[in-house]
Structure 1
Amino acid sequence: MSYLDFLLNPLISLDPNPSNPIFTIFLIATIIAFIIVVLQKFLIDYDKMEELQAETKELQKEMRAAQQSGDPKALAKVQKKQMDLMPKQKDLMVMQMKPSFITIIPIMIIYYGMVSNHVLSNVVINIASSQFYMLLMPIWNIFWTQSNPLTINFFGWYILSSFAMSFVFRRILGLKTM
């Protein structure tokens, strides 16, 4: 019995296959991915991020050139620039982490509600052996059920759905990858 059964059970009943509700998990992953991508769009200044990345790249080139020349004055000058850049990088990191801080608690609540729901937590998707290797399953084995390597459990399906839909929403909203 899950504390979110009052929300999840109506969704599961609408699923074309209520005994194995992969569509419900896909829908939940899609909604969460959409919310996260929208938050990223509004909370992250991508122009500022791109500008700072270019500035950092240029500073790294200057640092390499100063180290190769062996000039202590040039090296000190580049190190001073690097120290001036650090507060900007800190601000950028905070800006990039805001969506994660805002969404982590609601996502955990929904995830644990899904885990507690008997129907959702027992979802099994059978895959062909060719799909097993195409999905790099030897590396991603944590998402698959241990009893049969040619099945995906609910967590693996949620992660795959979430990554795919995040990619789609990022493209639709015109966001660059970080």
Structure 2
Amino acid sequence: MIEGIYKFLDDLFGGYIVQHPLLAITFAGFVIGGSYTLIYYFFMDVEKMRKIQEVSKQLQKEMREAQKSGDEKKLKKVQQKQLELMRMQGDLMRQQTIPMLLTLPIFWVFFAWLRRWYVEVAIAKAPFNFFLFDWFHSLYHSALGPDELGYFGWYVLSSYVIGMVLRKFLDMG
């Protein structure tokens, strides 16, 4: 079954896989990152998320004021409100499990497929040696240099960009 999925992905990306790995991974990052963002958008209550963020900011402000004034009653009230905030955050985390369970298989299949093509291929080359690239490559005993970015790094960058743009466009905060 998994080979059938890989064959579909090979056919979908056609000659770009071999001839233009940068374009193939960029396109894939946009598609996968965009679909993740859209899945979260449709399964998450964005208004509830905003409300929790606002309550959290307000509680932090109240906590600082209570600590500065040394008012024990006010401090206890804020702590009670924090417990309620923690319950609300727990509900939000339970709501996030459905999109996570939907996106995890996509992630596993997609990265196993990419690894077949680009395991030790430099996708992008930086004009300088970047210490994080070198550190990451040394962790995995990669043959890539400190100025080279592999498929995983390039995917993360491209999907991050499209995710941020879509979040801004969909007003997800």
TM-score by length of 2: 0.78
Partner Cα separation in structure 2 for residue 42 and residue 158 of structure 1 = 23
Between the two proteins, the alignment pairs up a number of residues equal to 167
Aligned CA distance change for structure 1 residues 59 and 168 (closer, same or farther; 3 Å): closer
For the residue of structure 2 that corresponds to 1:124, the secondary structure is: coil
Share of identical aligned residues, percent? 32
Residue 123 (structure 1) aligns with: 121
Identify which of 138, 149, 174 aligns with 2:171. Answer: 174
The separation in 2 between residues aligned to 1:5 and 1:98, in whole angstroms, is 25
Secondary structure (helix, strand or coil) at the match of 2:146 reads: coil
- Determine whether 1:91 maps to 2:88: no
Higher fraction of helix: 2
Is the CA contact (8 Å cut-off) linking 1:43 and 1:99 kept in structure 2?
yes
CA 1:143–1:98 in 2, change beyond 3 Å: closer, same or farther?
farther
Quote the Cα distance in structure 2 between the aligned partners of 1:126 and 1:36: 24
Aligned mates of 1:126, 1:65 — CA distance in 2: 50
Is contact 1:125-1:153 (8 Å) kept? yes
Aligned pair partner of 1:138 in 131, 138, 141: 131
Higher relative contact order (CA 8 A, sep 6+): 1
- CA-based RMSD: 2.7
Give the structure 1 partner of residue 33 of structure 2: 33
CA, structure 1 residues 51+120, in 2 after alignment: closer, same or farther (shift >3 Å)?
A: same
| 1:12 Cα deviation after fit | 4.3
What TM-score, normalized to structure 1?
Answer: 0.76
